Structures are given as structure tokens and as C-alpha cells.
Amino acid sequence: MFGFVPNLGKLLANAPATLASYVDAQKYLSSIGTLSSEENNIVQMTIAIENQC
């Protein structure tokens, strides 16, 4: 899906159910969403920066 393991994925690896929910949500949003991959990345990076992640 990503081509690499994101830091969040590494963190969630210790919580398999949470990781599975995150991956499922990402798949669902990409299947119904209207944002391009680049726009989706921008939104996710903006959220991470705003939350000081």
C-alpha cells in the first residue's frame, strides 16, 4: 500500500487491532475519496504537523 513502513505503522505494530483499523480506514478513504494521492499526503502531513507528530 505505502511501499515502506510509515513511522505510525511502526508505532501501531504493537497494537495489531489498531493497526488493522488504521489500514482499513486508509483503504476505505482512498476508495471513496476524491483527493489525489498527492492531495491526500498533503492533508495527512498537515494534520501531523498541526498535532506536532
**20: in domain:** yes
**6: in domain:** no
**23: in domain:** yes
What pLDDT digit, counting tens, does each position of 5-52 carry?
667 777 888 888 988 888 898 888 888 889 888 898 888 888 878 877
**3: in domain:** no
Start-end of H helices in 1-53 = 7-12, 16-32, 37-50
**37: in domain:** yes
Query: What domain range includes position 45?
Result: 13-50
Buried (b) or exposed (e) across 6-37, using 16+ Cβ within 10 A?
A: eeeeeebeeeeeebeeeeeeeeeeeeeeeeee
- Given a cut of 70, whether residue 2 has pLDDT beyond it is no
What pTM, to 2 d.p., does this model score?
0.57
- State how far the Cα of 10 lies from the Cα of 36, in Å rounded to an integer: 25
Number of domains present in the structure of the chain: 1
**45: in domain:** yes
- State how far the Cα of 3 lies from the Cα of 49, in Å rounded to an integer: 22
